[in-house]
Amino acid sequence: MKKQRIAAIIACFILMAVTSLSLFYIEKELNHDCTGEDCAVCVCIHQAEAVLKNIGNGVSLSVHAINMMLFTVYMGISVCFILVFKTSLISKKVQLND
């Protein structure tokens, strides 16, 4: 269990590093002196953009799935609370005798 947690933390750091380094590279080289069609910097920029796009696509599917599950759980809990708190002693016409 501890190995899985460490592997997940390492994967998160690698993902954050790849994302931030790609963004910094794109920002730094955005206004470079382009040499034409076979520009190596342009190729690297396109690869960095592809990496960011793929990371975004992969994360968005799992995020949407998690959001849908959380929404379903939230709606279920909300309905339960509405049903439980809707009934009261007054609505059940219970008379309290002292």
Q: Choose the weakest-confidence range: 13-17, 32-36, 55-59, 88-92.
A: 55-59
Task: For CA atoms 65, 70, 72, 75, give the dihedral sign.
Answer: negative
Alpha carbons 66 and 81: distance in angstroms, whole number:
22
- pTM (predicted TM-score): 0.50
First to last CA, the chain: 58
Q: Judging by beta carbons within 10 Å of its beta carbon (0-12, 13-18, 19+), is residue 81 exposed, middle or buried?
A: exposed
**Tokens 């929404």 sit on residue:** 71
The candidate with the shortest Cα–Cα distance to 50, out of 98, 85, 18, is 18
- Predicted local confidence at residue 58, as pLDDT: 62
